[in-house]
Amino acid sequence: MWSFWLRTLLVAGGVALVPILFWFGSGPVAGLTVAVACLAAILAYQFWNYARLLTWLGRLNGEASWGDVFYLLDKQTRFGHDRQQKAMADMEQMRVATSALPDALVVLDADNRIVWLNDAAERQLGLSQARDVGQFIYYLLRHARFTEWLTLDSYNQPLQMKSPVVPEQTLLIRMVPMPRNQRMLFAHDITEVERVDAMRRDFIANVSHELRTPITVIAGFLETFGEMAAPDPAAFQKYVHLMLEQSDRVRRLLDDLLALAKLEGDQDMKNETVDAPALMELLLNEARGLSQGRHEVELLMTTRAKLIGRTEELHSAFGNLVSNAVRYTPPGGAVTLGWTLTRSGSAEFSVRDTGEGIEAQHIPRLTERFYRVDRGRSRATGGTGLGLAIVKHVLQRHQGKLRIESVVGKGSLFTAVLPADRVIPDSAPALPPAPEPAGV
């Protein structure tokens, strides 16, 4: 501010000095003439600046008082302040948004120094906003493949590597060019994609393994028949029976694979009224037919409530639980089916058996495809390894869940829980509650 007033005083003094010199040198008339000329020049200069100011303020016609000028200046100042505030708010919003992204973002300069990073970069790459800004990134991420990839300076070739912070996490890293000769390092977590891909590879391997054995057996018998000059009728009947068993095993496996594919591909489920009591009676008859009198099979039904869902799918899921219980329960054991409502209004279909039971470490994996506690025993009983996977998918489509309880040496309890909003309440009086079966 003081420089402005000093400059003003110097200009005023200079303008006053010139007429005085002319006054004493050439007379009063010359001095007054020079003074008027200086004042006219100053006024012209001020009017010129005034016109420039009006043009800048948007008043091109030049018709404005000083009050208008001050009003326009104040308006322009407030407009600039509002724009600045909006820009700051947008920057803060962008900072919050990028910080909340699940993917790691790191901005690098031309020398690969860290300019900025978000919160995910701290979690996934082990970097720190407070500590590492300005540092060379290859000093902090000491990974041979990363350093080699960084020197390639290629924006088209991504890098897949393990997280230096969470070794179980797999990251896909890309580089994106930015203005001012900067670059953004983008790290995406593909752990789930890798897990799904591994499951797909395991699934293909398991299907191939499950199909190879029966096809090899059938092909071996056919080769034997081709080498026989005169097949022995008794041996022929025996081999044909074994071939039928193996072909039936292939058929069951393909049926279960098609059922799983249908469940996963059909996103829009058409609901219908499921007559659950009638389904319970059907399952009871199927269990007794599968048991052939080797087990004690009974149904404990405390409600006649119906369901909203798909009868075919629920029959398949409940039937898998029933067939598993019968197949894995030794002769003389008991299989108990249950249909009841809980106090919260949800419906439960349960299958309790007195088989050998399942060790606790196997229970979380029972619904995985082709997972077997005892592979040899499962194949001997005719299982495909897909039954409980089908149960899980059916229940998920009905917003339900499968609860598994088991005690080794005492048996197992499988319970399919359906939510209350899929239950059609029973209008008839409820049946008396069933006694708690012995076992689990």
In a domain, 438, yes or no: no
Instruction: Tell me, yes or no, whether 216 and 288 share the same domain.
Output: no
Instruction: Tell me, yes or no, whether 322 and 181 share the same domain.
Output: no
Give the integer Cα–Cα distance in Å for 178 and 115: 12
Query: Mean pLDDT throughout 204-231?
Result: 75
In a domain, 314, yes or no: yes
Query: Mean pLDDT throughout 255-281?
Result: 81
Instruction: Tell me, yes or no, whether 277 and 412 share the same domain.
Output: yes
Q: What CATH number is associated with residue 409?
A: 3.30.565.10
Continuous segment of H or E residues that includes residue 1 = none
Instruction: Tell me, yes or no, whether 33 and 69 share the same domain.
Output: yes
47-51, 88-92, 362-366, 388-392: segment of lowest average pLDDT: 88-92
In a domain, 435, yes or no: no
Q: How many separate domains does the chain show?
A: 4
Structure tokens at 222: 């056919």
Residue 340 has pLDDT above 90, yes or no: yes
Residue 379 has pLDDT above 70, yes or no: no
Query: Mean pLDDT throughout 79-84?
Result: 75
In a domain, 291, yes or no: yes
Instruction: Tell me, yes or no, whether 333 and 248 share the same domain.
Output: no
In a domain, 430, yes or no: no
pTM of the model as a whole: 0.54
Instruction: Tell me, yes or no, whether 258 and 296 share the same domain.
Output: no
Give the integer Cα–Cα distance in Å for 297 and 287: 7
Residues in CB range of 121: below 8 A, 6 or more apart: 104, 105, 106, 127, 187
Instruction: Tell me, yes or no, whether 294 and 415 share the same domain.
Output: yes
Condensed to tens digits (0 to 9), the pLDDT of residues 384-418 reads 678 888 899 899 989 999 999 999 989 999 999 99
Instruction: Tell me, yes or no, whether 59 and 164 share the same domain.
Output: no
In a domain, 440, yes or no: no
Bridge partners, 296 (sequence order)? 334
Instruction: Tell me, yes or no, whether 29 and 64 share the same domain.
Output: yes
Residue 319 has pLDDT above 60, yes or no: yes
Give the integer Cα–Cα distance in Å for 392 and 244: 30
* Ranges of H-type helices in 101-188: 119-125, 129-132, 137-140, 144-152
Answer with the one of 157, 189, 221 that is the final residue of a domain: 189
pLDDT of residue 436: 41
Instruction: Tell me, yes or no, whether 167 and 287 share the same domain.
Output: no
**DSSP H helix total and E strand total for the chain:** 13, 13
Residue 433 has pLDDT above 60, yes or no: no
pLDDT of residue 62: 54
Range of the domain at 257: 197-265
pLDDT band at 364 (very low <50, low <70, confident <90, very high): confident
Query: Mean pLDDT throughout 309-319?
Result: 91
pLDDT of residue 54: 72
Condensed to tens digits (0 to 9), the pLDDT of residues 109-136 reads 988 898 888 888 888 888 888 888 888 8
Give the integer Cα–Cα distance in Å for 389 and 394: 9
Q: Are strands 306-309 and 272-274 parallel, antiparallel or unpaired?
A: antiparallel
Instruction: Tell me, yes or no, whether 57 and 181 share the same domain.
Output: no
Q: What CATH number is associated with residue 121?
A: 3.30.450.20
* Ranges of H-type helices in 115-232: 119-125, 129-132, 137-140, 144-152, 191-227
